[in-house]
Amino acid sequence: MTQTIPYWHVDAFAARPFGGNQAAVMVLEEWLPDDVLVQIGGENLFAETAFVVRDASGEADWELRWCTPTYEIALCGHATLASGHILLTRDGGERVTFRTRKSGILEVVKAGEAYELALPAIATEADSAANQAEAIRLLGAQPLEIARSPLGYNIYLFENEAAIRAMTPDIRGLETLGQDQFIITAPGDATDIVSRVFVPGGGVDEDSVTGSAHAVLTPYWANRLGRSSFTAHQASQRGGDLTLRLDGSKAWLGGPCVTVVEGSFYL
């Protein structure tokens, strides 16, 4: 028997269609087998598909999981923002919480015409060019400094936005280095910071707007800038603008969302 699953296509961190980062949001009655979730992610072919199920534990409103086209991931920001947008639009309210398997309780709150998403702030430590020699070679430019989280996030600092926009990494080479995120960043022109993010080992050559990367960039740049709130732009082809705020152990990412498709997924 065919199962009908409510489905939405959302442009997250975008004020109008065709910007920000695309995510599918799917509301399930119960969890499907893990391999089916990944297959659905492959069928949708977005950087991430978010799946939500009502949380029976009482810890949060919903359970939340995310799949790329090739595997399930531990944290995704833009698809969480998209999920909050859909559920708050559909059900009303000002706040929705999500229980995740590896990233704790996440929440999305309304902020005027946009939303704010709380993610765990991810700390990094300085790394050496020697340790990152192959990644630097594949990026094709020498960074001013490097930082890394053992969770698989790599930050490469460059002088200015022009350097970020001009870079043409060897994507297929980066793909061989595993499922890490490779984040290049610099002071921005129109925003405080700018970045681009490559995750080819996870099936996403260059991500459009990456929430999890900004959970790493928020504490990194808060320390460099000497303040807890600032603006960001991810300089992908689609592009996206965010507000960033460090509040203790949380990184708050702000931005609007646009629903571009609503329908049914038949399984």
- Indicate whether 154 belongs to any domain: yes
Instruction: Place 121 in a pLDDT band, splitting at 50, 70 and 90.
Output: very high
Count: domains in the chain: 2
Residues 99 and 129 in one domain: no
Please name which of 3, 46, 56, 10 lies closest in space to residue 28, comparing C-alpha atoms: 3
Distances (CA, A) of 96 to 22, 36, 52, 56, 127: 20, 26, 12, 15, 37
Residues 22 and 36 in one domain: yes
Write down the pLDDT at residue 202: 84
Mean pLDDT of the chain: 96
Write down the pLDDT at residue 93: 96
Which ranges in the chain belong to alpha helices (H)? Answer: 34-44, 77-91, 133-139, 161-166, 171-175, 211-225
Q: Give the tens place of pLDDT for each residue, 10-56.
A: 999 999 999 999 999 999 999 999 999 999 999 999 989 999 999 99
**pTM value?**
0.89
Given a contact cutoff of 8 angstroms between Cβ atoms, the answer to whether 47 and 75 are in contact is: no
Residues 131 and 186 in one domain: yes
Q: How many CB atoms lie within 10 A of CB 140?
A: 12
Residues 109 and 13 in one domain: yes
Q: How many CB atoms lie within 10 A of CB 176?
A: 11
Cβ-based neighbours of 180, under 8 Å, separated by 6 or more: 152, 153, 154, 199, 201
- Indicate whether 246 belongs to any domain: no
- What does the DSSP 8-state code read for residue 202? G
Please name which of 79, 84, 14 lies closest in space to residue 48, comparing C-alpha atoms: 79
Q: Give the tens place of pLDDT for each residue, 216-263.
A: 999 999 999 999 999 999 999 999 999 999 999 999 999 999 999 999
Residues 204 and 228 in one domain: yes
Residues 105 and 156 in one domain: no
Write down the pLDDT at residue 203: 82
What is the number of alpha carbons within 13 Å of residue 223 lying toward its C-beta? Answer: 12
Element (H, E) at 4: strand 4-12
- Indicate whether 248 belongs to any domain: no
Residues 36 and 69 in one domain: yes
Residues forming beta bridges with residue 105, ordered by sequence position? 99
Residues 87 and 135 in one domain: no
Residues 132 and 212 in one domain: yes
- Annotation says 48 is catalytic: yes
Write down the pLDDT at residue 58: 95
Write down the pLDDT at residue 32: 97
Given a contact cutoff of 8 angstroms between Cβ atoms, the answer to whether 248 and 107 are in contact is: no
- Look at residue 83 and tell me whether its pLDDT is greater than 90: yes
Instruction: Place 61 in a pLDDT band, splitting at 50, 70 and 90.
Output: very high
3-state SS track over 13-80? CCCCCCCCEEEEEEECCCCCCHHHHHHHHHHHCCCEEEEEEECCCCCCCEEEEEECCCCEECCCHHHH
Which CATH number covers residue 229? 3.10.310.10
For strand 193-199 and strand 181-187, is the pairing parallel, antiparallel, or unpaired? Answer: antiparallel
Write down the pLDDT at residue 204: 87
What domain range includes position 212? 125-239
Q: Give the tens place of pLDDT for each residue, 135-193.
A: 999 999 999 999 999 999 999 999 999 999 999 999 999 999 999 999 999 999 999 99
Q: Region 115-131: what's the mean pLDDT? A: 96
Instruction: Place 104 in a pLDDT band, splitting at 50, 70 and 90.
Output: very high
Given a contact cutoff of 8 angstroms between Cβ atoms, the answer to whether 252 and 116 are in contact is: yes
Given a contact cutoff of 8 angstroms between Cβ atoms, the answer to whether 246 and 227 are in contact is: no
Q: Which of 29, 43, 48, 145 is catalytic?
A: 48
Q: Region 49-69: what's the mean pLDDT? A: 97
- Look at residue 1 and tell me whether its pLDDT is greater than 80: no
Residues 235 and 262 in one domain: no
Instruction: Place 124 in a pLDDT band, splitting at 50, 70 and 90.
Output: very high
